[in-house]
Amino acid sequence: MSCCAPGAEIALDLNGITSALPSSQEIRLASRSLGGDLRQTDLSVPTVHCAACIQTIETALGKLDRVEGARVNLSTKRVSVRWRGDEVPPFVAALGRLGYPAHLFDPEIGEKDKTLSELIRAVAVAGFAAGNIMLLSVSVWSGAEGATRDLFHWVSALIAIPALAFAGGIYFRSAWNALSHGRMNMDVPIAVGVSLAYTMSLYETINHGDHAYFDASVSLLFFLLIGRTLDHVMRERARTAVNGLSRLAARGAMVLRDDGSRDYLPVDEIEPGMHLLIAAGERIPVDGKIIRGTSDLDCSLVSGESTPRTVASGETVQAGTLNITGPLTIEATAAAKDSFLAEMVRLMEAAEGGRAHYRRIADRVSALYAPVVHLTAFVTFLGWMMATGDWHRAMTIAIAVLIITCPCALGLAVPIVQVVAARRLFESGVMVKDGSAMERLATIDTAVFDKTGTLTLGQPRLVNVASIDPAMLAIAAAMAAHSRHPFSRAIAGSAGFVGQPNLESVSEHPGFGIEATAAGSTWRLGRRGWAGWKARTDGESGHGGTVLTKDGIIVASFVFEDALRAYAGTALAQLNDAQVSVEMLSGDTAAACGEVAEILGIDRFVPALLPSGKVDRIEALARAGHKVLMVGDGLNDTPALGAAHVSIAPATAADIGRNAADFVFLRESLLAVPLAVDVSRKAGGLIRQNIAIAIVYNAVAVPIAILGHVTPLIAAIAMSASSLLVIGNALRLQGFAPSAPERIAPQDRYSNVNSLAQFS
């Protein structure tokens, strides 16, 4: 009797374990409607690992009937399939036939990273084996002969077996999977080269040959595994950004039933139409409409606007916003999977999928290098066979060609420069998360900045403390200590050590301010029009601003501002000098953005943008041929940080923003941005020089090896020399001095020049 759901299929995964493919009904239920009859299904495909996999999957699925398109996200190992109609296309079965077992994606699964554990173990085994075989090889190169040489060769052969079986198994399984399904990937030539070198070495050992190449095969495997492990770790960091964004969602909410009872439900069980009670300090779990209550909301996640938004009955709210001051009752208008926060997750994943298509310099070179080397060795073998008829000599020379063209210098050309550059940046307070980011940063021609928290510090500060009576400031600070509002915190942090006033009662009026009584008087701190009900309402005593009143009479006024980040003007000037155009994208109001743009000399800015609007603007610039750098800090900037060609965030950014960015600068100064661009461009020049050195080395060494004039010892010395030359060239980057600011922008001579912020 079958245990599978009706319509389900059976498949064998790579480990030979029988598993059930999801049925059409399961796929339909797990799919998301995109409007009309268009739907999207997300599949998890764990065996995707390279650019060839992406092309193979997207091309094959795109040919299926009713499939509108497919997109592979290499970071999350996910395939998103868009399809039409009532019948589910057979895309799961098609992936199985290609050798990519797939199952429906489950965002709740938090399994341990088994792939990383396997890679680390493989690196350890290959490194241990390579080190020991190298020690034995030194003895052979030093003149060991006869039985001693044979003993060292046999010991090397035995040490290499577990390394090839366990560490090399990663490449052998992938290569066999590709070949058995009639396709090629980058692991095929690696598996062939390693196997051929070991087989020939074993033949030489059995026949008491002078030379064996166990060290070459295992060492090459060791370095390749290091590269794959680092690549996997980088991609897992990208997944961390998405997972971190998902964790910002509330776990659940208190639901008010029709009979007056209250139940706490997980967020996935909240349905449209339910009434939710949101206390002050809680995040709103789903999109909804306020039916009762007044409060201030921190909307930085949604809009990036620094000033809290006052909301009341009848207004709409979005998932992820923080309720600051008062309790709210809202009616859910969307399920969690259709909420704003879920859309942010989808935007981030789409952005990461686009960036995953970027091919690093090392990848582009390797794509040509591997087939050229193997073709050269094969042609060498055929040529010597035709010339001498001695297959042993022909094979030996062919393997010598493989050894002397071992991609040590080429493999070091890129990473050694990136390591030196990363250290150079770290010493200047900039952390690099991914080597490919430096390559992307070196090519940018447009820099897009968020406003609040990036160009400015995003922290309101009281600037007229000197003009306020200390006694009045102490009373205001005591009242402000009872509120979470950003301006209240600014007032509370500005009071000196004046005697603590005795407040008899304190209450907060969301959207207006704070009221307290003391010694028979009524004190109010908040909006001028609400607090100063006995004050004049024209001229300077109008409705705007924040004031402290006693029995309706204004006794103190408060002025706030958001300071520019240190050297913001100088940093933008340096970017302009480096032929990088600057734009500002912000969720703040047009007035606030216009004032900052005028101060900093920014010609182009777009205010009042949602996160999707920032992504749309960056994608429009990309379509116009621009390479965009995004600099932002807010939660609402996360999709834009992922969508840009490369991204930078300050250390003060939210965790999710730092995870999504390629660079993080640790100091307050914005000069870190042009510094990173400068170092990345110089590193790019050194990388190109190193690749040229490696190519010239091969152009000289390969013909000599093809002619049969190279022994293994000479090949080893030549490889070492080329590697040392590449390393020495990369170390020149430490001697480069960053471009120092020749001039300080006028706006950087002042510490606080940003716009006023008010309760409004």
Residue 450 bears catalytic tag: yes
Closest to 726 in 3D by CA, of 417, 465, 480: 417
Residue for token digits 């190193």? 690
Write out the H or E segment, with its range, that includes residue 446.
strand 446-449
* Residues in CB range of 339: below 8 A, 6 or more apart: 249, 285, 286, 287, 318, 319, 320
Q: Answer for the pair 280, 323: CB distance below 8 angstroms, yes or no.
A: yes
Beta-sheet pairing, 663-665 with 646-650: parallel
- The structure tokens listed for 511 are 């959207």
Strand partners, 20: 10
- The structure tokens listed for 732 are 């020149």
Beta-sheet pairing, 646-650 with 628-631: parallel
* Residues in CB range of 510: below 8 A, 6 or more apart: 293, 294, 295, 296, 310, 324, 325, 326
- ∠ CA 55-57-60 to the nearest 5 degrees? 100
* DSSP codes, 140-164: HHTT--HHHHHHHHHHHHHHHHHII
Q: Answer for the pair 309, 346: CB distance below 8 angstroms, yes or no.
A: no
Q: Which long-range contacts (CB under 8 A, 24 or more apart) does 573-576 make?
A: 573/601, 573/743, 573/745, 574/671, 574/674, 574/739, 574/741, 575/447, 575/673, 575/674, 575/677
Which residue type is seen at 634? Answer: G
Closest to 219 in 3D by CA, of 693, 731, 720: 720
Please state, in angstroms and as integers, the Cα–Cα distance from residue 472 to each residue in 181, 276, 376, 549, following that order: 80, 40, 85, 9
Q: Answer for the pair 450, 634: CB distance below 8 angstroms, yes or no.
A: yes
Beta-sheet pairing, 646-650 with 581-585: unpaired
**What gap in Å lies between CA 424 and CA 412, rounded to an integer?**
18
Phi, psi of 301 (to 5 degrees): -65, -35
* Residues in CB range of 729: below 8 A, 6 or more apart: 686, 689, 690, 693
Closest to 185 in 3D by CA, of 305, 315, 95, 55: 55
Q: Answer for the pair 441, 646: CB distance below 8 angstroms, yes or no.
A: yes
Residue for token digits 């080893």? 716
- The structure tokens listed for 437 are 């980011």
SS3 420: helix
* Residues in CB range of 492: below 8 A, 6 or more apart: 477, 480, 481
The DSSP secondary-structure symbol of 298 reads E
DSSP E strand boundaries for 190-308? 252-256, 262-266, 275-278, 288-292, 295-298
Q: Answer for the pair 670, 574: CB distance below 8 angstroms, yes or no.
A: no
Write out the H or E segment, with its range, that includes residue 236.
helix 214-246
The DSSP secondary-structure symbol of 564 reads B
Strand partners, 456: 564
Measured in Å, how far apart are the chain's first and last C-alpha atoms?
A: 69
Q: How many CB atoms lie within 10 A of CB 143?
A: 8
Q: Which of 187, 215, 231, 450 is catalytic?
A: 450
* DSSP codes, 1-70: ---SPTT-EEEE-TTS-EEEEPPHHHHHHH-EE-STTEEEEEEE-TT--SHHHHHHHHHHHHTSTTEEEE
Which residue type is seen at 62? Answer: G
The catalytic site residues sit at 450
